[in-house]
A and B are shown apart, each in its own frame.
With several copies, the nearest count.
Chain A
Amino acid sequence: MAKKLKGLSRELIALRVANELEDGTYVNLGIGIPTLISDWIAGRDIILQSEIGMLKTGPLATGDEVDQDLINASCQAVTALPGSCYFDIVESFAMIRGGHIDVAVMGALQINDRGDYAGWSNPARGLFVGNIGGSMDLCAGARKLFIAMEHTTREGEYKIVKKLTYPATAIGKVNKLFTDLAVIDITPQGMVLREVAPGLTPEDVQSVTEPRLIISPDVREMAL
């Protein structure tokens, strides 16, 4: 297969994830599409944790707001909010690994129907080593793990696969997957298709998804 369907923009994938996040929760957003979620939850009762050692991370800083001592884990200047606090890296990862973060949202290169995913290393780079960052800790410790990504590669190759060919970040940890084309639950039975992007059918989504999808009886259009 090498096929590319037209779906949501990256911003709208982020919106769909934002709609899934509950008020009163602590959330960590990874690099890529997850970072865009912060725009959609501004003003909501959701507190963002940043691996670098910050709770209640505010919007990106611009102009005079920029402070080199206040960045997020993606190396972007951010702002503080009333109630923001700072702590060292050991405390930050105690929070993450210790089960204190309700939801982590991460990007991915590949994911399979058992909730394994790959994100930290692209073998095309030809290096055994790579940038692990905080990804594996978030997988190990967050109460729920969401993946937000494009459904296929730019070339239309499967990213949702039967078997990972990229190095795994974590095994069996993903709860829910949000793409430009669909919302999919990872269940003990496999991938359950819950929502499809406007204008698409479950069959369309299946056609760009390698593992067999279980079509939810109440599958519907994505709630944006």
Chain B
Amino acid sequence: MDKVISSVDEAIADIPDGAVIAIPGFFTCGVPRALLQALIRKGTKNLTLACGCGPLLGAAEEMRALVKNRQVKKVIDSYALYRSATKGMQDPFEQAVRAGEIELEVYPMGTMAEKYRAAGAGIPAFYTPTGVGSVVEETVVTNIEANRAPKETRIINGRKYILEYALKPDYAFVHALIGDREGNLRYAKTARNFNHVMATAARVTIAEVENLVEIGELDGDDVHTPGVYVHRVVKVERPRFAITID
């Protein structure tokens, strides 16, 4: 199978308005920046960006463009705001969240990871101890009051747990160090983060790879994401990140 597409623009050409797109990356590390830039060029509207740990703080330029173009309806994340309240007040994304123009729904990071993992693995729901005793136990945590909804809890072996549900994106953008033509991927160090699990979770996974290799060049025991999860592969230049979110 040859899953290689010649450009990021072609790779995302079918994404419709209203799509839910998983965006991996942990702040500045492992963010699929070239695909995000293609999304800005395409101008797709009404997007839900399902993140894990602040990739849009890491790809701040792209996020500002997406907000400015009014492409984003909702962000799901564990860490989407600048740490500094002062900086946050000046951030167009936070301003849109404060104005209720963009919905921001937050979960603990491990719960985010597990929600994608569940979606990829055919598990519709699971119990987790994370967040018990906090507002996370009481409600879906979102800036849009109408969308807050109580969560279910359960005592198992004497401990309280929260029921959380799988989160299945329509698309995932992933960034890998190496990919082969059949979609087998390998990541670099901490740039792995949410890339693998989001590749498993989405209906359609699009991988941008810094190095495109022929089938068989990756050793079978060295593959991080088996090709079955990856539908399109596109070669990109290695992106450049300033390692800071402040």
Contact = CB atoms under 8 A, between A and B. Distances in A.
User: Does B bind A?
Assistant: yes
Interface of A: 24, 26, 31, 45, 47, 49-56, 66-73, 75-77, 80, 82-101, 116, 120, 122, 124-137, 139-141, 167-172
Contacts, number: 241
B63 to A, nearest CB: 15
B228 A93 contact: no
Nearest to A98: B122
Interface of B: 1, 26-30, 52-54, 58, 78-81, 83, 85, 88, 97-98, 104-111, 113-114, 116-117, 119-123, 128-136, 141-143, 145, 177, 180, 182, 184, 187-197, 200, 215-216, 218, 220-221, 223-224, 226-229, 240-241, 243-245
Contacts of A31: 83
23 contacts: A53-B26, A69-B191, A70-B189, A71-B29, A72-B190, A73-B26, A83-B180, A83-B184, A87-B226, A89-B194, A96-B122, A97-B130, A129-B97, A131-B79, A132-B109, A134-B108, A136-B130, A137-B111, A141-B129, A168-B134, A168-B135, A171-B132, A171-B133
A132 B197 CA distance: 20
B98, B129, B241 pick with most chain A CB within 10 angstroms: B129
B110 A96 contact: yes
B228 A100 contact: yes
B117 to A, nearest CB: 5
Nearest to B229: A100
Given A73-B26, A95-B228, A170-B134, A135 B108 contact: yes
A122 B85 CA distance: 9
Given A86-B220, A97-B130, A141-B129, 12 more contacts: A51-B109, A54-B190, A70-B189, A72-B190, A75-B243, A86-B189, A95-B228, A132-B107, A140-B122, A140-B128, A169-B134, A171-B133
Contacts of A96: 110, 122
A137 B108 contact: yes
A21 to B, nearest CB: 13
B66 to A, nearest CB: 18
Given A94-B122, A100-B228, A89 B26 contact: yes
A31 B200 CA distance: 27
A98 B121 contact: yes
A132 B123 contact: no
B130 A140 contact: yes
B72 to A, nearest CB: 15
A132 B106 contact: yes
A14 B108 CA distance: 26
A24 B129 CA distance: 27
A88 B192 contact: yes
Contacts of B79: 131-133
Contacts of B190: 50, 52-54, 69-72, 86
Nearest to A96: B110
Contacts of A172: 133
